[in-house]
Amino acid sequence: DGGITQSPKYLFRKEGQNVTLSCEQNLNHDAMYWYRQDPGQGLRLIYYSQIVNDFQKGDIAEGYSVSREKKESFPLTVTSAQKNPTAFYLCASEPTGDSYEQYFGPGTRLTVT
């Protein structure tokens, strides 16, 4: 079964700790995205990558970092510099071509106290 997996579903961390969210896809998609979703707001783009070993900042990249060492994997690290890290984080991938449809993982709900 092809798809996108994110783990874990729920994550709890203490303030001041870095945490890494996993995103894996076996759809053979080139592009991958990280979004943050907060209540009452649209999805906001954190980082995206259109090819291995290359990634771009989105609208709210401050306090986050990513890597794209493999086509299948696009982990997101939420650093202690992120002021309001508690949110629902969604990873998505998109095939090359004219489709533009993004396929989303199930999300990780991060709570930082």
Partner 1 sequence: GQNIDQPTEMTATEGAIVQINCTYQTSGFNGLFWYQQHAGEAPTFLSYNVLDGLEEKGRFSSFLSRSKGYSYLLLKELQMKDSASYLCAGMDSNYQLIWGAGTKLIIKP
- Can you give the binding site for partner 1, defined by CB under 8 A? 4, 40-45, 58, 88, 90, 100-107, 109
The C-alpha atoms of residue 91 and residue 33 are separated, in whole angstroms, by 6
CB of 40 to partner 1, least distance (A): 6
Nearer to partner 1, 5 or 18 (CB): 5
DSSP-assigned beta bridge partners for residue 98: none
Nearer to partner 1, 31 or 80 (CB): 31
Cα separations (Å) of 69 from 24, 41, 76, 90, 109?
Answer: 12, 31, 12, 19, 24
The burial of 91, by beta-carbon neighbours within 10 Å (0-12 exposed, 13-18 middle, 19 or more buried), is given as buried
CB of 46 to partner 1, least distance (A): 12
CB of 97 to partner 1, least distance (A): 12
Nearer to partner 1, 48 or 68 (CB): 48
